[in-house]
């Protein structure tokens, strides 16, 4: 019987395990990937202050701390079921069962698919897959590619691909369909683009960021959007063009792109063919919450957090006794926020276990403050209105209690 089982060895899970070990709890961390680090392993970008965020180095730091504290981490183990017992939980995996009094779900996020005709051809991949192949497995994804989907994640990963010497033709939208919806709408996309302006050395985007909340300026910018696109790191970004088809017989050979109106409707007669040998589809991220649902945790749909999220409070507790959540399962944010939430969750668990022998309430309060400060200073913000989303969740938690 463990005091805590943590599912997910990303920044949230590792930070939580460290916090628990610092209070001498008996902890097991499980991850289905062969090595710990989660999505951190693929991350490499320059922050607005000019410093580089290198996910592999950040993972090493977390692992060193976890090792010093003799934290038990087991990889290549997949959790497929969890039972709620009277005395805690039984975690079912492909390598046996583990009993624990407390359970922390830190399973992260997954990518939303954006279907485009031809997307089953070899050479089509999600933008996250391209990131993992490039930065984790060091595999060249192709010679020249195009990215379908313009959002915070695709802009960050495009830069990572370029730094690895991969040629990107451009970044365009997916066509509007019942799945892509807003991801194919130039007005909606433009708002997102403006939010990453501080990452781009582009006068146009810096100009745009000053007026991010002014609809008429955004609309004007869209109306007069340059036909050659706006370049970010030398790569044109086209918010008024969309991929309508991916072409090829054995593998990707080209894509058909057309111009779209400011609302995303195709403009007939504007089709052009672009030769590429790979296509990255970037549909956005959503919280990976299935395991919370298996246990019977209540959910709340909150757009600003990325979709359906397990109900939880500011201290990472769910309405189910002994069940905690941290990181992207609680809403899509960057790795620093995930790590801060992990530390907070670990301290919350320690407080519940050690209530009679130690007062760690001050530490929990400090950790809550740290989550907020980290969020305010985050270089990457995936969703606008994240604070509103968090406030909605707090309200939802109290409605359940």
Ligand X SMILES: Cc1cc2nc3c(=O)[nH]c(=O)nc-3n(C[C@H](O)[C@H](O)[C@H](O)COP(=O)(O)OP(=O)(O)OC[C@H]3O[C@@H](n4cnc5c(N)ncnc54)[C@H](O)[C@@H]3O)c2cc1C
List residues near ligand X by CB under 6 A.
7-13, 30-33, 38-40, 43, 78-79, 106-111, 128, 131, 153, 156, 285, 288, 291, 327-328, 334-335, 338, 380
* Cβ atoms of 330 and 316 closer than 8 Å: yes
The smaller minimum CB distance to ligand X, of residues 109 and 146, is found at 109
Output the smallest distance, CB 312 to ligand X, in A.
13
| Residue pointed to by tokens 């509007």 | 176
Q: How far apart are CA 79 and CA 291, in angstroms?
A: 8
Minimum gap (Å) between residue 284 Cβ and ligand X: 10
Least CB distance to ligand X at residue 327 (A): 2
Closer residue to ligand X, CB minimum distance, 166 or 338: 338
Q: What are phi and psi of 350, to 5 degrees?
A: -60, -40
The residue behind tokens 């580089």 is 52
For ligand X, the closer CB: 78 or 365: 78
Nearer to ligand X, 54 or 313 (CB): 54
Rounded least distance, CB 344 to ligand X, Å? 13
Q: Which of 325, 287, 326 is nearest to 306 (CA)?
A: 287
Burial bucket for residue 372 (CB in 10 Å: 0-12, 13-18, 19+): middle
CB-wise, 110 or 179, nearer to ligand X?
110
Backbone angles phi, psi at 170, to 5 degrees: -175, 180
Residue 172: closest CA among 159, 197, 155, 194: 155
Residue 329: CB minimum distance to ligand X, A: 6
What's the closest the beta carbon of residue 243 comes to ligand X, in angstroms?
20
């395990």: which residue's tokens? 17
> How far is the C-alpha of 347 from the C-alpha of 340, rounded, in Å?
11
Closer CB to ligand X, 157 or 176, in the complex: 157
Tokens of 208: 């745009």
Nearest to 43 by CA among 147, 127, 157, 198: 157
Nearest distance, CB of residue 383 and ligand X, angstroms = 12
CB 301 within 8 A of CB 307: yes
CA distance 114 to 262: 20
User: Looking at beta carbons only, is 8 or 186 nearer to ligand X?
Assistant: 8
Nearer Cβ to ligand X, position 254 or 343? 343
Q: Cβ of residue 171: shortest distance to ligand X, in angstroms?
A: 15
181/188 Cα distance (integer angstroms): 10
């Amino acid at each position: 019987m463990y005091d805590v089982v943590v599912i997910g060895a990303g920044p949230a899970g590792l930070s939580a395990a460290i916090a628990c070990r610092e209070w001498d709890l008996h902890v097991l961390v499980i991850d289905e990937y062969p090595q710990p680090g989660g999505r951190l392993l693929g991350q490499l970008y320059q922050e607005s202050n000019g410093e580089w965020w290198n996910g592999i180095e950040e993972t090493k730091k977390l692992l060193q701390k976890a090792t010093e504290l003799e934290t038990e981490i087991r990889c290549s183990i997949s959790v497929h079921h969890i039972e709620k017992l009277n005395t805690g939980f039984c975690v079912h995996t492909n390598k046996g069962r583990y009993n624990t009094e407390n359970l922390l779900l830190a399973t992260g996020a997954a990518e939303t698919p954006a279907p485009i005709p031809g997307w089953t051809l070899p050479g089509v991949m999600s933008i996250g897959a391209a990131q993992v192949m490039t930065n984790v497995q060091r595999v060249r994804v192709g010679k020249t590619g195009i990215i379908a989907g313009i959002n915070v994640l695709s802009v960050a990963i495009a830069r990572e691909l370029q730094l690895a010497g991969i040629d990107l033709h451009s970044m365009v939208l997916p066509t509007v369909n019942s799945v892509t919806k807003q991801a194919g709408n130039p007005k909606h996309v433009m708002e997102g683009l403006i939010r990453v302006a501080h990452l781009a050395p582009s006068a146009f985007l810096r100009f745009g960021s000053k007026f991010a909340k002014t609809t008429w300026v955004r609309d004007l910018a869209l109306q007069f959007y340059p036909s050659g696109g706006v370049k970010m790191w030398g790569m044109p970004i086209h918010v008024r063009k969309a991929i309508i088809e991916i072409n090829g017989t054995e593998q990707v050979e080209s894509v058909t792109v057309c111009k779209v109106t400011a609302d995303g409707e195709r403009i007939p007669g504007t089709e052009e063919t672009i030769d590429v040998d790979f296509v990255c589809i970037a549909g956005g991220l959503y919280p990976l919450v299935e395991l919370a649902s298996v246990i019977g945790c209540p959910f709340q749909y909150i757009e600003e957090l990325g979709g359906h999220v397990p109900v939880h409070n500011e201290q990472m507790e769910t309405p189910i006794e002994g069940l905690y959540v941290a990181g992207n399962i609680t809403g899509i944010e960057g790795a620093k926020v995930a790590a801060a939430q992990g530390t907070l969750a670990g301290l919350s668990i320690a407080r519940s276990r050690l209530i009679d022998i130690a007062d760690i309430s001050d530490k929990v309060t400090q950790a809550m403050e740290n989550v907020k400060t980290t969020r305010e200073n985050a270089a990457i913000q995936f969703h606008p209105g994240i604070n509103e989303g968090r406030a909605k969740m707090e309200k939802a938690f109290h409605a359940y209690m």
